[in-house]
Amino acid sequence: MRMRPTLAWTPPEDLPPGTTDWEPVADALGAGGVLVLSGAGLSTESGIPDYRGEGGSLSRHTPMTYQEFTASAPARRRYWARSHLGWRTFGRARPNAGHRAVAAFGRHGLLSGVITQNVDGLHQAAGSEDVVELHGSLDRVVCLSCGAFSPRRELARRLEEANAGFAPVAAGINPDGDADLTDEQVGDFRVVPCAVCGGVLKPDVVFFGESVPPGRVEHCRALVRRSTALLVLGSSLTVMSGLRFVRQAAQEAKPVWIVNLSPTRGDAHAVARVGLPLGATLTAVAERVGVEVAVSGASAGAGGRGGVDAGS
């Protein structure tokens, strides 16, 4: 299914109100079999902004679309200049209390799986296993010509060599790893080709306007079918790539719980939306169900893994 570049969503007036009562979420987790679907809001406490929350990056930044990236060499230069600079900061991000709580739920057998719309690798860095990266990961690069994959750290080294001294000061960092740079700051940044065939390189992430691989979608649908409940963490569910799993769970009469500060496009399908900060809320839930949350992440962030929504 192709991801449309949906940049805004206006909540209808009849949307159910949020709550601050997180105890039913703890009850659902305590019963086990819960599938987690996470979005950019889970990583904000790690210093990575979300798209649509208060101060979200879409207020200043329009994400690159697949069509623009593939059709325009100047667009690719602009993207890789911003992404190369952003990677230096993005790769230093570390898991926060929310990521660590999800990992703890998994270790204690309370989850049926984790699907993330994020491309930052922080779930895995916190210790979660078998995470489905719905939109891919920024720590991998793929050639659009020959299909060869390579580690992001290798590309970072090649870009460093091709652009010695490139160190502009960015205005900010975005959820997709881009740094905010002006065209003047991008300048004549040099993009390097595939080391195998000389083709165009692209991060192994699903851009806006691109399709999530059908096999990945079906795998996620199977996870929904096997779960007892769906827990959405930090996603506005504005794009269909995540919303479809909420709709599926509701159609299968499985309870949907959402923890997100702002209203979401999935609220009408949920038992309730808990409008509280994720880190503190999930830590409290973990304490309620008797799960110990690690003090810090299991390993470094995405960049430390070696080589990260498109949208949420």
Catalytic residue numbers? 135
117 belongs to an annotated ligand binding site: yes
Was 55 annotated as part of a binding site?
yes
What single letter denotes the amino acid at residue 118? N
Q: Is the dihedral of CA 240, 301, 56, 22 positive or negative?
A: positive
Q: Known binder of ligand: residue 258? A: no
Does 58 belong to an annotated binding site? yes
Residue 303 in marked binding region: no
Other C-beta atoms lying within 10 Å of the C-beta of residue 265: 21
Measured in Å, how far apart are the chain's first and last C-alpha atoms?
15
Give Cα 286 distance to the centre of its chain. 22
Known binder of ligand: residue 56?
yes
Q: Which of 104, 184, 199, 90 is nearest to 114 (CA)?
A: 104
Does the annotation list 128 as a binding residue?
no
Any binding-site annotation on 197? yes
CB 125 within 8 A of CB 300: yes
Whether 49 has a binding-site annotation, put simply, is: yes
The answer to whether 59 is annotated as binding is yes
194 is in an annotated binding site: yes
Q: Which amino acid is at 92?
A: R
Binding residues: 39-59, 117-120, 143, 146, 194, 197, 234-236, 278
Annotated binding site for NAD(+), which residues?
39-59, 117-120, 234-236, 278
Binding residue ranges for Zn(2+): 143, 146, 194, 197
